Protein backbone atom coordinates (compact mmCIF):
# COMPACT_ATOMS: atom_id res chain seq x y z
CA UNK A 1 0.00 0.00 0.00
CA UNK A 2 1.64 3.23 -1.19
CA UNK A 3 1.57 6.44 0.87
CA UNK A 4 0.46 8.35 -2.23
CA UNK A 5 -2.60 7.12 -4.14
CA UNK A 6 -2.75 7.03 -7.92
CA UNK A 7 -5.24 5.33 -10.26
CA UNK A 8 -3.80 2.09 -11.64
CA UNK A 9 -4.52 3.00 -15.24
CA UNK A 10 -5.87 5.67 -17.57
CA UNK A 11 -6.38 5.58 -21.32
CA UNK A 12 -7.34 7.82 -24.20
CA UNK A 13 -7.11 8.02 -27.95
CA UNK A 14 -4.17 9.65 -29.75
CA UNK A 15 -4.37 13.42 -29.61
CA UNK A 16 -6.61 13.43 -26.56
CA UNK A 17 -5.80 14.48 -23.00
CA UNK A 18 -5.36 12.41 -19.87
CA UNK A 19 -4.97 13.45 -16.27
CA UNK A 20 -3.44 11.41 -13.47
CA UNK A 21 -4.28 12.19 -9.88
CA UNK A 22 -2.02 11.74 -6.88
CA UNK A 23 -3.52 11.95 -3.42
CA UNK A 24 -1.60 12.28 -0.19
CA UNK A 25 -1.74 14.04 3.15
CA UNK A 26 -0.53 17.12 4.95
CA UNK A 27 2.77 15.45 5.86
CA UNK A 28 3.72 14.86 2.25
CA UNK A 29 1.96 16.58 -0.65
CA UNK A 30 0.35 19.17 1.59
CA UNK A 31 3.69 20.64 2.67
CA UNK A 32 6.24 19.57 0.08
CA UNK A 33 6.83 19.87 -3.62
CA UNK A 34 5.61 17.08 -5.90
CA UNK A 35 7.57 15.58 -8.77
CA UNK A 36 6.43 13.24 -11.54
CA UNK A 37 8.37 10.51 -13.31
CA UNK A 38 7.83 8.65 -16.56
CA UNK A 39 9.03 5.07 -16.93
CA UNK A 40 8.89 3.70 -20.44
CA UNK A 41 8.93 -0.09 -20.74
CA UNK A 42 12.26 -1.62 -19.69
CA UNK A 43 13.92 1.73 -19.03
CA UNK A 44 14.95 3.82 -16.04
CA UNK A 45 12.52 6.44 -14.70
CA UNK A 46 12.78 9.96 -16.11
CA UNK A 47 11.95 13.23 -14.38
CA UNK A 48 8.95 14.90 -16.04
CA UNK A 49 7.77 17.54 -13.58
CA UNK A 50 9.35 18.96 -10.43
CA UNK A 51 8.30 21.54 -7.84
CA UNK A 52 4.65 20.79 -8.65
CA UNK A 53 4.60 22.34 -12.09
CA UNK A 54 8.08 22.93 -13.52
CA UNK A 55 9.43 21.04 -16.52
CA UNK A 56 13.11 20.12 -16.88
CA UNK A 57 14.82 21.13 -20.06
CA UNK A 58 13.72 18.94 -22.95
CA UNK A 59 10.32 17.97 -21.58
CA UNK A 60 7.59 19.15 -23.98
CA UNK A 61 4.87 21.46 -22.73
CA UNK A 62 2.31 18.72 -23.45
CA UNK A 63 3.17 17.62 -19.93
CA UNK A 64 1.93 19.77 -17.06
CA UNK A 65 1.61 19.52 -13.32
CA UNK A 66 -0.48 21.14 -10.65
CA UNK A 67 -1.10 20.84 -6.94
CA UNK A 68 -3.98 21.78 -4.69
CA UNK A 69 -3.95 21.02 -0.99
CA UNK A 70 -3.00 17.39 -0.50
CA UNK A 71 -3.46 16.34 -4.12
CA UNK A 72 -1.50 16.74 -7.30
CA UNK A 73 -2.30 16.17 -10.95
CA UNK A 74 -0.28 15.35 -14.04
CA UNK A 75 -1.78 16.29 -17.38
CA UNK A 76 -0.73 15.01 -20.77
CA UNK A 77 -2.22 16.67 -23.85
CA UNK A 78 -1.89 15.66 -27.49
CA UNK A 79 -1.44 12.05 -26.44
CA UNK A 80 1.05 10.06 -28.53
CA UNK A 81 1.79 6.34 -28.74
CA UNK A 82 5.23 7.12 -27.35
CA UNK A 83 3.59 8.34 -24.14
CA UNK A 84 2.56 4.79 -23.23
CA UNK A 85 4.39 4.29 -19.97
CA UNK A 86 4.05 4.10 -16.22
CA UNK A 87 3.85 7.44 -14.42
CA UNK A 88 4.73 7.99 -10.77
CA UNK A 89 4.21 10.91 -8.44
CA UNK A 90 6.58 11.40 -5.56
CA UNK A 91 7.44 13.76 -2.75
CA UNK A 92 9.11 14.01 0.65
CA UNK A 93 7.13 12.98 3.71
CA UNK A 94 8.08 15.20 6.62
CA UNK A 95 6.60 12.87 9.25
CA UNK A 96 8.36 9.77 7.92
CA UNK A 97 11.55 11.69 7.02
CA UNK A 98 11.51 9.62 3.87
CA UNK A 99 10.69 9.88 0.21
CA UNK A 100 7.39 8.42 -0.96
CA UNK A 101 6.01 7.44 -4.36
CA UNK A 102 2.56 6.70 -5.63
CA UNK A 103 1.80 3.19 -6.84
CA UNK A 104 2.11 4.25 -10.45
CA UNK A 105 -0.38 4.78 -13.27
CA UNK A 106 -0.19 2.97 -16.58
CA UNK A 107 -1.12 5.19 -19.52
CA UNK A 108 -2.52 3.38 -22.54
CA UNK A 109 -3.04 5.06 -25.90
CA UNK A 110 -6.05 3.44 -27.53
CA UNK B 1 25.98 14.72 -19.93
CA UNK B 2 25.56 13.78 -16.28
CA UNK B 3 25.54 10.05 -15.72
CA UNK B 4 25.35 7.51 -12.91
CA UNK B 5 26.14 3.81 -13.33
CA UNK B 6 25.32 1.16 -10.75
CA UNK B 7 27.16 -2.08 -10.08
CA UNK B 8 27.41 -4.78 -7.46
CA UNK B 9 24.08 -6.54 -7.80
CA UNK B 10 23.75 -10.30 -7.87
CA UNK B 11 22.26 -13.40 -6.31
CA UNK B 12 22.58 -13.71 -2.54
CA UNK B 13 21.05 -15.99 0.05
CA UNK B 14 18.57 -14.77 2.61
CA UNK B 15 20.43 -13.24 5.51
CA UNK B 16 23.42 -12.43 3.35
CA UNK B 17 25.05 -9.12 2.46
CA UNK B 18 25.76 -7.16 -0.68
CA UNK B 19 27.35 -3.78 -1.41
CA UNK B 20 26.07 -1.73 -4.32
CA UNK B 21 28.15 0.99 -5.92
CA UNK B 22 27.22 3.93 -8.10
CA UNK B 23 29.79 5.78 -10.19
CA UNK B 24 28.93 9.37 -11.07
CA UNK B 25 30.38 11.35 -13.94
CA UNK B 26 30.05 14.64 -15.80
CA UNK B 27 28.72 16.62 -12.84
CA UNK B 28 30.03 17.92 -9.52
CA UNK B 29 29.09 14.97 -7.36
CA UNK B 30 29.85 16.67 -4.06
CA UNK B 31 27.16 19.32 -4.64
CA UNK B 32 24.22 16.93 -4.75
CA UNK B 33 22.13 14.84 -2.43
CA UNK B 34 22.03 11.29 -3.82
CA UNK B 35 19.38 8.58 -3.53
CA UNK B 36 18.73 4.89 -4.01
CA UNK B 37 15.36 3.81 -5.39
CA UNK B 38 14.31 0.21 -5.97
CA UNK B 39 11.71 -1.57 -8.05
CA UNK B 40 10.64 -5.12 -7.24
CA UNK B 41 9.66 -7.32 -10.19
CA UNK B 42 6.36 -6.13 -11.63
CA UNK B 43 5.97 -3.51 -8.92
CA UNK B 44 6.26 0.26 -8.61
CA UNK B 45 9.07 2.51 -7.48
CA UNK B 46 10.11 2.49 -3.83
CA UNK B 47 12.42 5.16 -2.39
CA UNK B 48 15.09 3.47 -0.26
CA UNK B 49 17.52 6.03 1.10
CA UNK B 50 19.28 9.31 0.53
CA UNK B 51 22.40 11.08 1.73
CA UNK B 52 23.38 14.74 1.77
CA UNK B 53 26.34 16.35 0.09
CA UNK B 54 28.97 15.68 2.76
CA UNK B 55 27.51 12.44 4.09
CA UNK B 56 26.47 13.91 7.43
CA UNK B 57 22.76 13.23 6.95
CA UNK B 58 21.08 9.99 5.89
CA UNK B 59 17.46 8.96 5.61
CA UNK B 60 15.93 5.51 5.08
CA UNK B 61 12.60 3.88 4.38
CA UNK B 62 11.42 2.05 7.50
CA UNK B 63 11.72 -1.41 5.94
CA UNK B 64 15.52 -1.13 5.57
CA UNK B 65 16.44 0.80 8.72
CA UNK B 66 19.08 -1.03 10.70
CA UNK B 67 19.95 -3.28 7.74
CA UNK B 68 21.02 -0.91 4.94
CA UNK B 69 23.61 1.86 5.08
CA UNK B 70 24.04 4.54 2.45
CA UNK B 71 27.42 6.23 2.12
CA UNK B 72 29.47 8.23 -0.34
CA UNK B 73 33.05 9.02 -1.26
CA UNK B 74 33.20 12.44 -2.87
CA UNK B 75 36.87 11.99 -3.79
CA UNK B 76 35.87 8.99 -5.89
CA UNK B 77 32.54 10.40 -7.13
CA UNK B 78 30.88 7.31 -5.78
CA UNK B 79 27.75 6.36 -3.87
CA UNK B 80 27.27 3.08 -2.01
CA UNK B 81 24.55 1.00 -0.45
CA UNK B 82 25.62 -1.64 2.06
CA UNK B 83 22.83 -4.16 2.42
CA UNK B 84 22.92 -6.64 5.32
CA UNK B 85 20.53 -9.31 6.56
CA UNK B 86 18.86 -9.40 3.17
CA UNK B 87 15.29 -10.64 2.85
CA UNK B 88 13.34 -12.06 -0.08
CA UNK B 89 11.37 -8.80 -0.23
CA UNK B 90 14.60 -6.89 -0.97
CA UNK B 91 14.70 -8.53 -4.41
CA UNK B 92 14.55 -5.64 -6.88
CA UNK B 93 16.34 -3.51 -9.40
CA UNK B 94 18.21 -0.83 -7.45
CA UNK B 95 18.59 2.56 -9.12
CA UNK B 96 21.06 5.23 -8.11
CA UNK B 97 19.73 8.74 -8.69
CA UNK B 98 21.09 12.27 -8.47
CA UNK B 99 18.96 14.73 -6.58
CA UNK B 100 18.34 18.08 -8.17
CA UNK B 101 20.15 21.06 -6.57
CA UNK B 102 18.37 22.70 -3.64
CA UNK B 103 16.09 19.67 -3.34
CA UNK B 104 15.96 16.58 -1.17
CA UNK B 105 13.73 14.36 -3.29
CA UNK B 106 13.66 15.47 -6.94
CA UNK B 107 15.69 12.89 -8.84
CA UNK B 108 16.88 14.22 -12.18
CA UNK B 109 19.54 11.73 -13.27
CA UNK B 110 18.91 8.00 -13.00
CA UNK B 111 21.02 4.95 -13.66
CA UNK B 112 19.75 1.86 -15.43
CA UNK B 113 19.93 -0.09 -12.21
CA UNK B 114 21.56 -3.19 -10.82
CA UNK B 115 19.56 -6.32 -9.99
CA UNK B 116 19.56 -7.85 -6.53
CA UNK B 117 18.00 -11.28 -6.10
CA UNK B 118 17.63 -12.75 -2.62
CA UNK B 119 17.03 -16.47 -2.58
CA UNK B 120 15.41 -18.33 0.27
Closest partner residue to B105 among A35, A39, A104, by Cβ? A35
Nearest residue to A24 (alpha-carbon basis) of A48, A47, A52: A52
Chain A positions touching B99 (Cβ under 8 A) are none
pLDDT exceeding 90 applies to what percent of chain A?
Answer: 96
The predicted pLDDT at position B120 comes to 85
The predicted pLDDT at position A29 comes to 98
B88 and A CB contact within 8 Å: no
Min Cα–Cα distance to chain A from B1, Å = 13
Mean pLDDT of B73-89: 98
B57 and A CB contact within 8 Å: no
pLDDT exceeding 70 applies to what percent of chain A?
Answer: 100
User: Residues B81, B38, B7, B11: is their CA dihedral positive or negative?
Assistant: positive
Closest partner residue to B110 among A32, A35, A46, by Cβ? A46
Widest distance between CA atoms in chain A = 41
pLDDT digits (tens, 9 = 90+) for A67-105: 999 999 999 999 999 999 999 999 999 999 999 999 999
Over chain B, what is the mean pLDDT? Answer: 97
pLDDT digits (tens, 9 = 90+) for B10-69: 999 999 999 999 999 999 999 999 999 999 999 999 999 999 999 999 999 999 999 999
Query: Using an 8 Å Cβ cutoff, are B40 and B97 in contact?
Result: no
Amino acid sequence: QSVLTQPPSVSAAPGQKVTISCSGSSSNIGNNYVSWYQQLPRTAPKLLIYDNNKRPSGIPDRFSGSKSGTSATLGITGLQTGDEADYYCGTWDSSLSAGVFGGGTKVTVL
Amino acid sequence: EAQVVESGGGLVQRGGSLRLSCAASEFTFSRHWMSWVRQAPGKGLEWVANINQDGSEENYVDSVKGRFTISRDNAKNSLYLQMNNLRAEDTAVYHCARVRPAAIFVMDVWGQGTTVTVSS
